[in-house]
Chains A and B, each alone.
Chain A
Amino acid sequence: MTLDIQNVSKTFSGPRQGFFGRGESFSALDGVSLSIKKGASFGLVGESGSGKTTLTRCVLRLETLSAGSILYDGADIHKLTPLQMRRLRSRLQIVFQDPYASLDPRMTVHDIVAEPLVIHSDVVNLNAHQRTERVLELLLQVGLRSEHLFRYPHEFSGGQRQRIGIARALAVRPEFLILDEPTSALDVSVQADVLNLLHRLQQELGLTYFFISHDLGVIRYICDDVAVIYRGKLVEQGPVADIFDNPQSDYTRMLLNAMPDPDPDLSPFRKVEVG
């Protein structure tokens, strides 16, 4: 197991009431367990409020756990020293959802993608010129061009910004990539390109993906296994084909039915034309 989430729970304490009281606490995650093997493409399906964002924050140790543990390669993430944690961050990276918010608007593309190389200079050990070369290599790998090197994020489209985010995540050659709704904010045609890119990169670089999305079509396209999360609990998990063709839980069934298909004949508002 590369990533092992064991019985994780996370409760947020409620808002302060009066001087000393606290309102009802909110349980974001309740006994979530899942395992991701090396090289796998694992999907997490959930709607807003399901806890999927909280789970990614827990994996990245941006939140503490109320119960349970998360192990990466056998080591408990939440018990690592700051130095060990920083080392871990070079192996476990994340691509964010919002291409308009995840890049520092005041930094050039070069600096954005080079930043992980600077932060982890003890592991990576490149001088400034070598860093620039590596940045260029990464940009080409994600389908951008050398003239983009010193531009600012606002000069790019959503799809291009997302590619920059992917390049940044790949800079220190991580093994494990968390992708938090990486294509949800993109136009449909751009989404297709980025999905194909992600697929290609996984093959070329041997990455393990933890892919979070609310879009079942996207999950089906890129993942081998999937878990469905609803209100902080995992509702079912298994190979993608099984879950999609033979959903066991009502919630999954409801999700599958609610997905709008671009085929107008399949619309629930229309009767299929006869003949």
Chain B
Amino acid sequence: MTQTEQTMSVAIPNRNQSARLENWSRAFYRFRQSWLSIIGLTIVIALIVIAVIAPWIVPYPEHVVGGTNTGAQFQPPSANAWFGTNALGQDMFSLVLVGSQVSLFSGMAVVFIAIVFGTIVGAIAGYFGGWIDEVLMRLTDLLLTIPSLILAMAVAAALGTGVWNMIIAISITWWPAYARLVRGEVIVKKEEQFVVAAHALGANWVRILGKHILPNIVSPIVIKASLDMGFAILTVASLGFVGIGVKPPTPEWGTLLSGARSYMPDYWWTAVAPGTAIFLAVLAFNLLGDGLRDVLDPKARR
């Protein structure tokens, strides 16, 4: 057939990666416009890098695994110990650095689990509507009515100590918000013409949700996730503060802060060090989230 012969002679171009690349560089250009967002991004990257390599760069690795040096207790910040030492003579700087591992990664794990679970529930509720929607949303509402911290504490107390139990406990309180968000977005996207087009082409609901709707609602989820990250870290720290979750000697910002309570204000560095770390992490993620929202929010675009 002449038509096919004609197409045979036309070269099929390589899957063009440069279009994707251009999209990214445009997005970064917009992101760059706000210096606060750049600061946020830098701090976040720095924190993550530090958390990953912490055990190898701390000046006093023995302190983070329980080693003590009671002779050097309560030293103020000095050249030897940048953040001073605590009641056991352990270097605060090392503790805070390694503590970032638990705090940051727990926070991220919580957000990740919440996104996965919340998206599934929200997408199904939003797409199918009807009684499925009602049942799922009442379940979500139920969890939302219970104060999250209390619920997390209750679940963690029931499950026992340990990082993973704490993460599960917090995730249970975190996913409903994502379910709500995703449900709302799915309900809107469901009516968009390209989704109707897919339906008219004969696509089934799995394809429509998975290939058309979800990829197009990534933005609000990413924005919420980055803003949430700060609060997830805070919640992990709060649980640690109350004594739930990680047990010493594993350092974690919340437990460090809790341990420093009784020594305020004389030995202020024992509290200020982990406190500043928490503050910095939450601030950085917030700035990053704001920056991402400015870039990804379609109303701010074009």
Whether A and B touch directly in their complex, counting CB atoms under 8 A apart, is answered as yes
Once the chains bind, are A86 and B197 in contact (CB under 8 Å)? Answer: no
Nearest chain A residue, comparing its CB with the CB of B192: A101
Chain B interface residue count, CB cutoff 8 Å, equals 30
Once the chains bind, are A115 and B203 in contact (CB under 8 Å)? Answer: yes
Min CB distance A56 to B, Å, is 9
Any A CB within 8 A of the CB of B212: yes
Any B CB within 8 A of the CB of A89: yes
Any B CB within 8 A of the CB of A72: no
Nearest chain B residue, comparing its CB with the CB of A110: B15
Once the chains bind, are A106 and B216 in contact (CB under 8 Å)? Answer: yes
Once the chains bind, are A94 and B7 in contact (CB under 8 Å)? Answer: no
Min CB distance B216 to A, Å, is 6
Chain A proximity mask over B1-29: 1 for CB below 8 Å, otherwise 0: 00110111011111110010001000000
Residues of A within 8 A of B197 (CB): 94, 96, 102-103, 165, 168
Nearest chain B residue, comparing its CB with the CB of A112: B194
Interface centre among B4, B12, B197 (most CB of A within 10 A): B197
Q: How far is the CA of A147 from the CA of B7 in the complex (A)?
A: 13
Q: How far is the CA of A107 from the CA of B19 in the complex (A)?
A: 12
Residues of B within 8 A of A217 (CB): none
Q: How far is the CA of A106 from the CA of B198 in the complex (A)?
A: 13
Nearest chain B residue, comparing its CB with the CB of A90: B202
Once the chains bind, are B19 and A102 in contact (CB under 8 Å)? Answer: no
Any A CB within 8 A of the CB of B196: yes
Once the chains bind, are A119 and B202 in contact (CB under 8 Å)? Answer: yes
Quick one: which of A105-159 are within 8 Å of B by CB? Answer: 105-108, 115-116, 119-120, 132-133, 136-137, 140-141, 146-147, 149-152, 155
Once the chains bind, are A146 and B10 in contact (CB under 8 Å)? Answer: yes
Residues of B within 8 A of A140 (CB): 6-7, 10
Nearest chain A residue, comparing its CB with the CB of B4: A137
Nearest chain A residue, comparing its CB with the CB of B15: A150
Nearest chain A residue, comparing its CB with the CB of B216: A106
Once the chains bind, are B16 and A151 in contact (CB under 8 Å)? Answer: yes
Once the chains bind, are A136 and B12 in contact (CB under 8 Å)? Answer: yes
Residues of B within 8 A of A137 (CB): 3-4, 7
Q: How far is the CA of A103 from the CA of B216 in the complex (A)?
A: 12
Min CB distance B49 to A, Å, is 31
Any B CB within 8 A of the CB of A60: yes
Any B CB within 8 A of the CB of A215: no
Q: What is the count of residue pairs linking A and B with beta-carbon distances less than 8 angstroms?
A: 84
Q: How would you classify the secondary structure of chain B's contact residues: helix, strand, loop or mixed?
A: helix
Once the chains bind, are A89 and B13 in contact (CB under 8 Å)? Answer: no
Once the chains bind, are B200 and A60 in contact (CB under 8 Å)? Answer: yes
Residues of A within 8 A of B198 (CB): 104, 115
Chain A proximity mask over B213-228: 1 for CB below 8 Å, otherwise 0: 0011000000000000
Residues of B within 8 A of A141 (CB): 3
Nearest chain B residue, comparing its CB with the CB of A86: B202
Once the chains bind, are A119 and B203 in contact (CB under 8 Å)? Answer: yes
Q: How far is the CA of A149 from the CA of B19 in the complex (A)?
A: 11
Residues of A within 8 A of B19 (CB): 108, 150-152, 155
Any B CB within 8 A of the CB of A236: no
- Which residue of B3, B4, B202 is within 8 Å of A116 (Cβ)? B202
Min CB distance B7 to A, Å, is 5
Once the chains bind, are B7 and A133 in contact (CB under 8 Å)? Answer: yes
Any A CB within 8 A of the CB of B247: no
Once the chains bind, are B215 and A106 in contact (CB under 8 Å)? Answer: yes
Once the chains bind, are A62 and B200 in contact (CB under 8 Å)? Answer: yes
Any B CB within 8 A of the CB of A98: yes
- Which residue of B13, B196, B203 is within 8 Å of A149 (Cβ)? B13
Min CB distance A185 to B, Å, is 11
**Which A-B residue pairs are the 4 nearest by beta carbons?**
A89-B202, A101-B193, A150-B16, A102-B193
**Known A149-B13, A150-B16; 8 more pairs at CB < 8 Å:** A60-B200, A90-B202, A101-B193, A103-B194, A107-B211, A136-B12, A146-B12, A165-B197
| CB-defined A-B contacts under 8 Å, sample of 21 | A60-B200, A89-B200, A89-B202, A90-B202, A93-B200, A102-B193, A106-B216, A116-B202, A119-B201, A119-B202, A119-B207, A133-B8, A141-B3, A146-B13, A149-B13, A150-B13, A150-B14, A150-B15, A151-B19, A152-B19, A168-B201
B: residues with CB less than 8 A from A are 3-4, 6-8, 10-16, 19, 23, 192-194, 196-203, 207, 211-212, 215-216
